[in-house]
Structure 1
Amino acid sequence: MAIFKKPSFAAFPKFFLSLDPISKLVFISLGIASFSLLSFASWRVLLRLTAPQITIAAGDKRGESYIISDAIAKTIEKHSNIKITVLATGGSKENLGLLQQGKVQLATAQADIVSEDMDVPSGGNNSLKASPRTVIVLYKDLFQLVVRNPNIKQFIQLKGKTIAIPTKGGQYQSFKKVAEYYGLIKEDNQNSEVEIAGLKGSFYDDQQAEEDFKFKRVDALFRVRAVGNKGIANLIQNYDGILVGIEQGDAMKIKHPAFETAIIPKGAYKGNPPVPNANLPTVAVPRLFVANQDVDAKVIREITQIIFEHKQEIAPICKGGIPELLVSSGLLIVVTK
């Protein structure tokens, strides 16, 4: 009966020395290749285990902020080991709250809402303990008012009307600032000359606001969105929506420094016949990409660098869901601070 002995590693040197030069070279090459493959696999595992985990609070899933945040996340993951989750939320107010609570590391937010939450009145406390760090300016959000009645030609004529707007996001805060300026809402919120549809339910969102406009349950809809927003375009092109300009932006800026005067260009929503049929004045606020102060500065620098160097990759990912000019025309700007 044959007896099998366990191979002895002590005999390996003798075996190796007995090989011809070519066999020795092959043996050594295989050894080096195996070691390199094992090292690479171990390195990949280590990178996964130590990769920074980032969550972005990005607003409504159908909105520009979410779409561009998702595109940015995909681009960053492609060019780094940073792992990113994009979270749908109710808007700027909720985003900043999540950022402060440490539940997310990055967030999109309207500049006027960030400024408002950072403002510390005398004898008061600011709502956020630490100022978020601005990473980039994504694009400009414009205040857009859509009405049903062609006789409404100015914001002040909203008196006594019902406005479709969710109340949990930054859009409502922006609307209140404009309405306060025109005297339609008092600063103490005790007296209002307009009815806000979003105050009737806690789950009221942009989609419900659009449905209310389509089925004529409201007189107007207010949005803080980029020009070319799909929801607004649909209401204008298919449901008799009419854009109304918002004037006196420079005067509003005295109290609200984040406000900027802007124009909704003639033909922005339809070319023939042009809609609007003339340039419309309005107010704009930068849409910011902000970070929690506790996030490693090296991670923020890497994210900023990737966005800046690969912004042309972001445009095709956004295509179809966001006005292409947002990223392809250079409106994606790195803030040097």
Structure 2
Amino acid sequence: MFIVLAGVLAIIGIVTAGYYFAVRPVALRIAVGPAGSDDLKVVHALSQAFVQAHSQIRLRPIPTEGATASAQMIAEGRADLAIVRGDLSVPKNVQAVATLRKNVAVLWVPPAMKGKKAGAKITKIAQLAGRRIGVIGRTPANVDLLKVILQQYGVDPNKIEVVQFPASEAADAIRNRKADAYLAAGPVNSKITSEAIAASTHDGKAPTFLPIDSAEAIAQNHPMYEASEIPAGAFGGSPDRPEDEVKTISFSHHIVARKDLSDTTVAAFTRQLFAIRQTVMSEFPLAAKIETPDTDKDAFIPVHPGAAAFVDGEEK
């Protein structure tokens, strides 16, 4: 009887331990930055929402200096997930889980100010040669984006002067006429871009938006970009900014996972992400931009099998 009792207790102990390890939350480290960015705020909101929902997956945000540093961290195995920028070098050991947001490139020229002699009016990208262009944001990736656009129109990037401004200083720099034209990259509803364009408006005159008519050609030569449009009135104001739809290029910020991360774990994370998105949207509207990953075989960033299982309804 003692032997049988000991055996029963051992079995109960094994089952209890197995159940505990099976249902305990799995913590995933996610690299995201920079500090104070919308991306980091959204990840923190998701992390808190996962805890409140008693989710199987928990997020442990690891703040970085930006998308490049986040990519480096996951490449070195110091993170399980990361927010990376699609037009930068994507580590080979990662696969896509979701699209966090899509960004558009916006090029514009402020109107001439009253009482000041204006130079030749800029209405086309090809006319930017020899000009000073202000780039909003300190990341080198935005300068590289500008170079891609200029080269498509035969403008030698070495023949222009690039001045970069932190997002917090962009509006003042624009009011003080620090450049002839400006470039911003972010979501269509980006507060930073909207404030910069508002700062470019003078005497009721809206800035001139420079269309990227060769967007499809750029996307053909650089698969990380897509041809896109900026809707009329996207940046508010009166008159509408812009007054008409403007052609441009776009790129995405992705949530990626290490290839060696369990399919079951990634599928569970993806399921929770889209289940909790509605809750987070009320506090951070940016969460509404989260989309399922591209599951096509020729996708620029291959999808993780776990995420694909969720999207295709084949999660086990």
* TM-score, length-scaled by structure 1: 0.67
What percentage of aligned pairs have identical amino acids?
18
Deviations 1:282-316 (A, max 9, x none): 11123211123343433322210111222211211
Deviations 1:48-96 (A, max 9, x none): xx74241331446234x33433333333333325443434544332321
Name the CA shift for 1:176/1:78 in 2 (closer, same or farther; >3 Å): farther
Name the CA shift for 1:157/1:61 in 2 (closer, same or farther; >3 Å): farther
Q: What is the CA–CA distance in structure 1 between the aligned matches of 2:163 and 2:60, rounded to whole Å?
A: 32
* 1:142 aligned residue: 104
After the TM superposition, which parts of structure 1 deviate over 6 Å for at least 4 consecutive aligned residues?
Answer: none
* 1:108 aligned residue: 83
2:232 to 266, 271, 282: 266
* 2:135 aligned residue: 164
Q: What is the CA–CA distance in structure 2 between the aligned matches of 1:230 and 1:152, rounded to whole Å?
A: 25
* 2:74 aligned residue: 99
Q: CA deviation at 1:196?
A: 1.9
Name the CA shift for 1:92/1:210 in 2 (closer, same or farther; >3 Å): farther
Q: What is the CA–CA distance in structure 1 between the aligned matches of 2:79 and 2:162, rounded to whole Å?
A: 30
Q: Which moved more, 1:150-159 or 1:164-173?
A: 164-173
Name the CA shift for 1:51/1:257 in 2 (closer, same or farther; >3 Å): closer
Q: CA deviation at 1:331?
A: 5.5
Name the CA shift for 1:158/1:133 in 2 (closer, same or farther; >3 Å): same
Q: Counterparts in 2 of 1:95-244, with a 5 A limit? A: 95-113=70-88, 117=89, 128=91, 130-149=92-111, 151-159=121-129, 160-166=131-137, 168-185=139-156, 192-198=158-164, 205-240=166-201, 242=207, 243-244=209-210
- Kindly indicate whether the alpha-carbon contact (under 8 Å) linking 2:198 and 2:237 is maintained by their aligned counterparts in 1: no
Name the CA shift for 1:260/1:307 in 2 (closer, same or farther; >3 Å): same
RMSD between superposed Cα atoms in Å: 3.0
- Kindly indicate whether the alpha-carbon contact (under 8 Å) linking 2:73 and 2:79 is maintained by their aligned counterparts in 1: yes
Counting matched residue pairs gives 263
* Corresponding position: 1:314 with 2:261: no
Q: What is the CA–CA distance in structure 1 between the aligned matches of 2:211 and 2:74, rounded to whole Å?
A: 33
Name the CA shift for 1:193/1:90 in 2 (closer, same or farther; >3 Å): farther
- Unmatched 5+ stretches in structure 2: 1-15, 113-120, 296-307, 309-316
Name the CA shift for 1:68/1:236 in 2 (closer, same or farther; >3 Å): same
Name the CA shift for 1:247/1:331 in 2 (closer, same or farther; >3 Å): farther
Q: CA deviation at 1:156?
A: 2.2
Q: CA deviation at 1:250?
A: 0.8
* 1:12 aligned residue: none
Q: What is the CA–CA distance in structure 1 between the aligned matches of 2:220 and 2:167, rounded to whole Å?
A: 29
- Kindly indicate whether the alpha-carbon contact (under 8 Å) linking 2:152 and 2:214 is maintained by their aligned counterparts in 1: no
Name the CA shift for 1:162/1:272 in 2 (closer, same or farther; >3 Å): closer
SS state at 2:283 partner: helix
Name the CA shift for 1:165/1:103 in 2 (closer, same or farther; >3 Å): farther
Name the CA shift for 1:89/1:253 in 2 (closer, same or farther; >3 Å): same
1:300 to 246, 261, 266: 266
* TM-score, length-scaled by structure 2: 0.71
- Unmatched 5+ stretches in structure 1: 1-38, 119-127, 187-191, 199-203
- Kindly indicate whether the alpha-carbon contact (under 8 Å) linking 2:35 and 2:64 is maintained by their aligned counterparts in 1: yes
- Kindly indicate whether the alpha-carbon contact (under 8 Å) linking 1:140 and 1:287 is maintained by their aligned counterparts in 2: yes
Letter in structure 2 aligned against 1:69: V
Name the CA shift for 1:233/1:165 in 2 (closer, same or farther; >3 Å): closer
